[in-house]
Structure 1
Amino acid sequence: MFFIRSCGGREIEPLVSPSGTSVDVYAQNYDATTLGNSNEDSIIKYGYQLFSQTPKYIGPDNGNADMVYQGNRLACKNCHLNAGTKPYSAPLIGIIQRFPQFRGRENKIGTIQERINGCFERSMNGQMLPEDSREMLALVKYLEWLSRFAPEDGDIKGQGFVKIFIPNRAVNLEHGKEVFSKNCAVCHTPSGKGVKDPNRYTYLYPPLWGDDSFNHGAGMARVITAAQFIKANMPFGTTYDAPLLSDEEAYDVAGYINQQLRPQKANPERDFPDLLKKPVSTPYPPYADEFSLEQHQMGPFQPIMEYYKNTYNITKNK
């Protein structure tokens, strides 16, 4: 039996039980509000507050023009559900152990700080946090704390998003609108603009398009990625093992959402220096193929995937 140490230096449960069976990382305590008042615990709690109420501290309405790093009013928790601990909603348990890692969008090995700043530029439609800032330190410390039960390589069940069967057709926008009206509008409103929290800073139900949503450079702006997230997590209360929507419904509603107006990221052409690494459902050019912008945004995606397989022997699934 061996132990790892938490960010506060305390011994915690072993990663591997005496029988050799890995612990259930999702069954552990991730309630940051129960931490103490040491300097280490205080910075973790600040990281949790930044994660769950991001605009309050670094959003457009925080009251300090020097601390505005967001262009919208989303919080990290709006995509990484249950404060970053929900399976198949890109959970952040183990994320620290998985970095540094190679990312095709930058075509290089990147740090966890660079990955966080990618979210600020895209999902938050903002600008990079200084890597030596208290806010960056707090976010990283929170992710370290979430990762304390993860295995050495950081790989966990429920990592990323669920896989779906991608229909071999273009998105059906009319069907997507019907799915949205029936399943999504009750929380996100028929306008898709979401419902603000009474605290005035964040959203109870985030906007899916419009000025306060993610920009078109975010991963969620890709139909396949959005459909995978929706399948395992939406409507509210859905879990990966009890989905409500079919793969086709998730696909069409993802396409409908991503065809609505949203902020545009500056200089998107600088993404993916190696265009062969660009996901097929990336909604902006340039591409290393001759398929239309509309097909990259709405499918069918199989012909594009087949082109890369036949031409470059590259297997793409998103």
Structure 2
Amino acid sequence: MALPPGLDADLAAVLAGAPHVGLADPAKARAAMRDLVAALGEPERDHRVEVTGRTVAGGVPVRIYRPVRVTGPAPVLVYFHGGGFVTGDPENEHGRCLAFAGDGGIAVVSVDYRLAPEHPFPAGLDDCYAACAWAHAHASGFGGDPARVAVGGGSAGGALAAAVALRARDEGGPPLAFQMLLYPVLDDRMDTPSMRACTEPPLFNRTDAAHMWRHYLGGRPATPYAAPARARDLAGLPPAYVLAAEFDPLRDEALEYGRRLIGAGVPTELRHMAGVCHGFDGVASADSARRARAEQRDVLVRNLWTRQQIK
């Protein structure tokens, strides 16, 4: 696997021998993603968190993480996994969701949305939006607070989170308190300096992005709900945290979207991390990943409640 000069040493040590999840062949990509998740390693359980699976909103599978040490209703994060719209499931994000619930006292609803190319846009977005609406309507049933519902996700999950926020604003959907966009997919036009520069692995590159959009769009033109960078007006969206990674083809579209949110008057934290690549915070053994996960948890706590409310 080709690694960019300047990549964090901890990341380089792990990724040098890790499988690359190319997206040309969905079946092979899904197998490679399972191997990658197993290789990166995540905690399987946390005594502070009750984890249950169920099907909601007429057929959308979700995994619910309830923080058992929280007294009273907890804020809710509806989380969408990454994987280029083609691969992945809640297992990708199990460790992250455990930490958000156990360390942050957040009730997390992790969504197992339908994948392309078998189910191209808008199938995955429809699942995510339906799960978000369900979480808002039924928050009290899993210890959540319907007044503090956020959306979040990484990579393709970041695109879905941004799109759910746009759609909720446009359609008068569930009132969202926050959106957390981690190295998000946002622009199908693929015409930024970082997209042109990042043509080699690790984890995700320009070739992968081209296959991703081909599978997800199914030959149809992109709308702002498929590629949120195409949205003309970002005013009225919930407060945001946007994370960009230096060695990521998606870096510049994330930075631009964050700047546009700020310009539209949306309270936004825009974070660029040097020396890291797309999906870096999934490498549990890397210090940069631990710092990023801790920052994400603290961002959620700061925006959704204070630590004094957690026992």
TM-score normalized by structure 1?
A: 0.29
Structure with more of its chain in strand, by fraction: 2
> Higher relative CO (CA 8 A, sep ≥ 6), structure 1 or 2?
2
Please tell me whether Structure 1 or Structure 2 has the larger radius of gyration of its CA atoms. 1
TM-score normalized by structure 2?
A: 0.29
